[in-house]
Amino acid sequence: MTPDSSEKLYEAYYMRVFSFAMTLAGDRTQAEEITQETFFRAFSKQSGFRGESDEVTWLCAIAKNFFLDEKRRQSRSEPISEEEVPDTGKSMEQKTLDRDTSFRIHLALHALEEPYREVFELRVFGELSFREIGMIFGKTENWSRVTYHRARLKLQERMCES
């Protein structure tokens, strides 16, 4: 992988990989670490991408594998007591419904057109302010607020359809 192609890959997919990592980890710091390690592994393994899937799918698979490896490593080194495991009080049926709903939201988000998807991801997963989002796009804070609001409405419409 050439430095130029590595940079293009990073610029094209950083936010999507970071969003995926946020979904996995639920913590911004962990998501940043997962994202950083994902791109490091992708760039250091020249023959890793075989073209059998999209690049973003390949990157998300690397992120998921790293996340799972870290969880396994932590579980071996740190015994978890019953007090540390949160009891959500949810039944297995409710947990399944929550997971299904989460998957449907991600499908609807994936189908959302630009710039709505990116603004939504920056706001929700990236935890950026509207001012910062506006600066990224070279627009006003108000533009980012309106775009985010429209993205939420579009997601809600798609969720109601499915």
Q: What is the pLDDT of residues 114-139, one digit of tens each?
A: 888 888 888 887 778 888 888 888 99
Q: Which residue among 64, 82, 100 closes a domain?
A: 82
This model's pTM is above 0.75: no
In this structure, the answer to whether residues 76 and 98 fall within a common structural domain is: no
Angle (nearest 5°) at CA 68 between 64 and 69: 115
Confidence of residue 22 (pLDDT cuts 50, 70, 90): confident
Domain limits for position 98: 91-162
In this structure, the answer to whether residues 97 and 41 fall within a common structural domain is: no
In this structure, the answer to whether residues 63 and 134 fall within a common structural domain is: no
Q: Which residue among 20, 47, 82 closes a domain?
A: 82
Q: Would the pLDDT of 5 be above 90?
A: no
DSSP letter, residue 64: H
In this structure, the answer to whether residues 78 and 143 fall within a common structural domain is: no
> According to the model, what pLDDT value does residue 52 have?
65
In this structure, the answer to whether residues 72 and 98 fall within a common structural domain is: no
Q: Which residue among 47, 82, 117 closes a domain?
A: 82
Q: Give the chain's domain count.
A: 2
Q: What percentage of residues in the chain have a pLDDT greater than 90?
A: 9
Separation of alpha carbons 19 and 126, rounded Å = 7
* Torsion of the alpha carbons at 116, 150, 34 and 63, rounded to the nearest 10: -60
Separation of alpha carbons 59 and 52, rounded Å = 12
Separation of alpha carbons 20 and 82, rounded Å = 29
In this structure, the answer to whether residues 121 and 155 fall within a common structural domain is: yes
In this structure, the answer to whether residues 148 and 108 fall within a common structural domain is: yes
